[in-house]
A = this chain, B = another copy of it.
Amino acid sequence: MSTAKTDKTSDTGHPAEQDTRVRLLEAAGEVFAERGFHGVQIRDICALAGANIAAVNYHFKGKEGLYREVLKYAHHCAMAVDELQVAIPPDAPAEQKLGVFVHTFFRSMLSGGRPSWNGKLLAREMIEPSAALDDLVMSEITPKFALLRSIVAEMLGVAIEHPAVRWFGASVISQCLFWEHNKPVIQRLYPDLSYSDEQIRFIADHVVRTCTFAMLGARGKLDEYATWPEGKR
């Protein structure tokens, strides 16, 4: 499991030691995602990583330091916006771009790939934001969301700065995140939902279709979005 990510640690030249660090990150990511920061003890992480009990303090100066690094590491490994941009055909119709975006998003989020705990970790940050969330938003989320906004703007036939864009962007994203963030309840409501690849594709198709209908229907009726009530609270 520690084959693909020595690219950033190769400079020191101590592969065996670096392995410990990376193994620690992998193990910590998994259990932090599963049980949360407070629900995990470093003994378990070290045992899972096959490392010494003092390794966490040695490498990360404590549990919190480890958590911060795990968050960074997770999003370093996550689907980069570049890959997303590459996958999207630049001169295809906007509907098709949206399709690629949504399908890619779903796949990277729900298909149990390498950083399968990324989603859960982020979901935890939503509920209990740590100091690391700011970095995450800046480096990972903002560029992806900018890409989505450009697609949405194209579909709505307006400029990317149009106020409507943010709301329809939210409509797209919300329907994607829903299936990951609410898995436990969804699976209780729909026992036949197993998150197989076919089912994920089916869901993604539905989201694309829904958003397309919504945005096509809204074209030309976007005046309502001009008046946004400034938050005064």
| A interface residue numbers (CB < 8 A to B) | 34-39, 120, 123-129, 133-134, 137, 141-142, 145, 166-168, 170-171, 173-175, 177-179, 181-186, 188-190, 192-196, 198-199, 202-203, 205-207, 209-218, 224-225, 228-233
Contacts of A128 in B (CB 8 A): 34-36, 39
- B125 lies within 8 A of A184 (CB): yes
Instruction: Give the oligomeric copy count.
Output: 4
A-B contact pairs, 30 of them (CB 8 A): A35-B128, A36-B39, A36-B128, A38-B39, A124-B127, A125-B184, A125-B185, A133-B184, A141-B189, A166-B190, A167-B206, A167-B210, A171-B206, A173-B178, A174-B174, A174-B178, A174-B182, A177-B182, A181-B181, A181-B182, A192-B228, A192-B231, A193-B231, A196-B229, A196-B231, A196-B232, A199-B228, A202-B229, A212-B217, A213-B213
4 nearest A-B residue pairs (beta carbon)? A194-B231, A213-B217, A174-B178, A38-B38
